[in-house]
């Protein structure tokens, strides 16, 4: 099972021994709304995520990083890596083709002068 932002909120809250009432108060929302965010019933706004990151003194990247467990459970992670590698290779080949085109164009324009 991949980890959701709600699961991450709960994990952090438990790790720092903070109850839902305190977190809700710090975020300026009701306990019900906070509980719904942890359960994934209600989405959390970007602004609230920034506040959560500040409360736990972590970066937004750390907050949004759902960990290696989620990556291991992602059936598409290997395909995503392969796609990224293919995309990189495509970009390299495209740059080479542009360079070759420029060389040919320069050579052609040089022979047209005579």
Q: Are residues 59 and 109 in the same domain?
A: no
CA atoms in the 13 A half-sphere facing the CB of 93: 6
Q: For 62-111, how does the pLDDT look when each residue is reduced to its tens digit (9 = 90+)?
A: 888 755 444 455 566 677 778 888 888 998 999 999 999 999 999 988 77
Looking at residue 75, its pLDDT comes to 63
Residues whose CB is less than 8 angstroms from the CB of residue 23 and which lie 6 or more positions away in sequence, other chains included: 9, 13, 34, 52, 55
CATH of the domain at 20: 1.10.260.40
Q: Are residues 52 and 97 in the same domain?
A: no
Q: Are residues 54 and 65 in the same domain?
A: yes
Q: Are residues 80 and 69 in the same domain?
A: no
Provide the whole-model pTM: 0.55
Residue 1 pLDDT grade (very low, low, confident, very high; cuts 50, 70, 90): very low
Give me the domain span that covers residue 80: 75-114
Question: Distance between CA atoms of 44 and 23, rounded to whole angstroms?
Answer: 13
Q: What's the whole-number average pLDDT of the chain?
A: 84
pLDDT reading at 7 higher than 70: yes
For residue 30 the two structure tokens come to: 């009701």
Q: Are residues 93 and 55 in the same domain?
A: no
Residue 48 pLDDT grade (very low, low, confident, very high; cuts 50, 70, 90): very high
């Amino acid at each position: 099972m991949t980890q959701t932002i709600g699961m991450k909120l709960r994990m952090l809250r438990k790790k720092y021994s903070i109850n839902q009432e305190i977190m809700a108060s710090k975020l300026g929302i009701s306990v019900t709304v906070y509980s719904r965010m942890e359960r994934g019933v209600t989405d959390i706004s970007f602004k609230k995520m920034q506040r959560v990151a500040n409360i736990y003194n972590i970066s937004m990247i750390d907050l949004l990083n759902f960990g290696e467990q989620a990556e291991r459970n992602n059936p598409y992670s290997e395909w995503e890596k392969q796609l990224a590698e293919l995309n990189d290779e495509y970009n390299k080949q495209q740059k080479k083709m542009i360079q070759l085109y420029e060389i040919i164009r320069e050579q052609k324009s040089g022979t047209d002068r005579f």
